[in-house]
Amino acid sequence: MADSGTLATTAQVLLAIGQSASATQILEANTNIWILMAEADMETEAGDNIGLVANYASITAANKQWLASVASHRAAWYGINQNQNTWSLATAQSKLNVCLSIWKNFINKIKDKDVIADLGL
């Protein structure tokens, strides 16, 4: 099965989930769904007229890496929430906190018109 998303890959999501991912979290069909959910969240935050996914080809390489990090961590957030029993509560919460921190940073930055211009959108 090939990756379904545009902004992140299954491998990037698994790296964001981290060590000791469960069988449910490793399943590519699931990571593909989580990537698509993450992309939808990112599109919603950026605004419908921005088109992060539709205009992906025009985004610079450095910004693609930033978007991949955000998308993979947002998808990992969905995956970790799907099955938190893989880790101790403290570890699961720590993983979720990292993902949420990256997500909040994205929300703050994407509202800036200069960031949108820098993306080439």
The answer to whether the beta carbons of residues 99 and 73 sit under 8 Å apart is: yes
How far the first Cα of the chain sits from its last, in Å, is: 30
Q: How confident is the model at residue 62, as a pLDDT?
A: 87
Q: How confident is the model at residue 3, as a pLDDT?
A: 74
What pTM did the predictor assign? 0.91
Secondary structure letter of residue 6 according to DSSP: S
pLDDT values of the chain reduced to their tens digit, one per residue, 121 residues: 567 789 999 999 999 999 888 888 888 898 999 999 999 999 999 886 788 888 899 998 889 999 999 999 999 999 999 888 888 889 999 999 999 999 999 999 988 877 877 787 7
CA 67 from chain centre, in angstroms, equals: 8
Taking the CB of residue 80, how many other CB atoms lie within 10 A of it? 26
Q: How confident is the model at residue 74, as a pLDDT?
A: 97
